[in-house]
Amino acid sequence: MKKIIKIILLLTLTFSTSIEEIVASEKIKIGLLVPLTGKNSEIGQSIVKSTRLAVNKINNLSIEIIPKDTQSNPKSTLKGAIELAKLDIKIIIGPVFNENLIYLDELTDVTFLSLTNKNDNFSKNIINAGINATSQLNTIKKFLELNEIKKTIFLIPDVSYKNEIKNAIFKSKIKIIKNYTYNADPTKLTRQIEVITRYNIRKQNLEDEIVRLERSNQNNKERLIERLQKRDTLGSVGFDSVIIADFDESLKSVTTSLLYTDISPKKKYFITLNQWFDESLLEEASVQPLYFPSVNKSNYDNFSNEYFEKFNQYPNQLSFLSFDLVGLIYYLIAQNNSIVDEKIFTKKNLFKGKVGIFEIKNNKINHILNFYKIEDNKFKKIF
C-alpha cells in the first residue's frame, strides 16, 4: 500500500526535474487531432491552448505539440492522422468525437488517446481517455459501500447512451435492486415515476388509513389523523437511493417527478452522474442534497482561472482533460526508457493529474474520481 501511495505522489503534473533529465535528450512529438474549423472549432482551439499550457508547465523544450484539423469528419480525421504518422508521431491525443474513430484502426503503429467518454473501442490502437461511465459508477459504488446503502435503483433515460450505462453497471459490479429505463418526454415522465415509486398505491394507503382511524375507537385518533393529513403518501418504496443517469433540464424533470411522488432527498439518496459542477443545480434547493462523482473541483477551478488569465476566456471540459493527457504521455514515455510505442499503455500505472488519478492498464484508462454533494447551495467534497 505504501508503495502505491509513493507512486501516486510521484506522478503529478509538477513533473519533477528527475523526469525531465530522463527525456531531455529526446524530441517528444505529440499529435493532436481536433476540430480547428467548422461548427466545433471552439472546442478544438480550446484543446490546443490547454495542451500548450501543459507544455509550458512541464517546461521542457523537447516536447512538441503538432495539431491537425479533423473538421469533425471521419475522413478528414484519417487524413490528419496519416499526416501525423508520416512525421513519425506514435501517440496522438484525439479525436474528440466517437464517430471520428471509425477509420483509425488502419494506422496500427499509432496509439490514439480519444477524448470520448464512450466505453467501446473500435480498435486496439484506440484508448478512450474520457471520463467514462464505469469510472463514475466505481466512485458511486464506493460511496454506497461506505454508507452501507443496500437498496439502490437505477434510472436511465431511453437515449443513445443507455446501453453504455448498462454496460458500465455490469463492469463496475455496482449492486442495484432494479434498473428502469424511462422516456424523458415530460408528458410521460411523471407517470413512469409514479409507477416506479408505487405512488398511487402509497396514496391509497394513506386514504385508507385515515378512513380506518376515523371509524376506529382509538383514543388518540384525532391526533393521528391530523398527522396523516399532513402527508401525501403512506408506505415503503423499497429503495434507499436512486441513481439518475441524466443531465441538465432532463435531470431536473426527473427529480421534480420524484418530489411530486413524495420521494424526498432528505429521506432517500439522490445520486447522479458527473455534472461538472453545474451551478444551476445550486438553485434547486428542493432536490438537495444531491450527490455525484466528479473531477477535483479545486484543480478544475484553478485550471479554469489560469486558462482565463492566459487567454481571456474560460476552457471547456475537454481542455481540462487534454491538459492532463500531455503530462500523462510525458511521464509514461519517461517510464518506458524514452521509447515511444504502444507498450507504454499496457503496463499498470497510476498517474495523479488535475482531473484526478488515471489508472492505466492493458490499453485502458479509468479515472479514480472524487465524490461531491450539493447541499445548502454549495458544492461539498465528501472524498
The model's pLDDT over 37-88, given as tens digits with 9 standing for 90+, comes to 999 999 999 999 999 999 999 988 889 999 999 999 999 999 999 999 999 9
Provide the pLDDT for residue 85: 97
136 contacts 293 by C-beta, under 8 angstroms: yes
pLDDT bracket for residue 344 (50, 70, 90): confident
| Mean of per-residue pLDDT scores for the chain | 91
Q: Would strands 152-157 and 364-368 be described as parallel, antiparallel, or unpaired?
A: unpaired
Q: What are phi and psi of 55, to 5 degrees?
A: -60, -40
Percentage of the chain surpassing pLDDT 90?
80
Superfamily of structural domain 134-294+372-381: Response regulator (3.40.50.2300)
pTM of the entire structure?
0.89
Domain ranges of the chain: 2-130+297-367, 134-294+372-381
The rounded distance, in Å, linking the Cα atoms of 231 and 153 is 24
The rounded distance, in Å, linking the Cα atoms of 353 and 327 is 8
Provide the pLDDT for residue 122: 62
Superfamily of structural domain 2-130+297-367: Response regulator (3.40.50.2300)
Distance between first and last Cα of the chain: 18
Same fold across 2-130+297-367 and 134-294+372-381: yes
336 contacts 306 by C-beta, under 8 angstroms: no
Angle between helices 199-215 and 221-229 (to 10 degrees): 160
pLDDT bracket for residue 26 (50, 70, 90): low
The number of C-alpha atoms within 13 Å of 262 and in the hemisphere containing its C-beta is 17
pLDDT bracket for residue 334 (50, 70, 90): confident
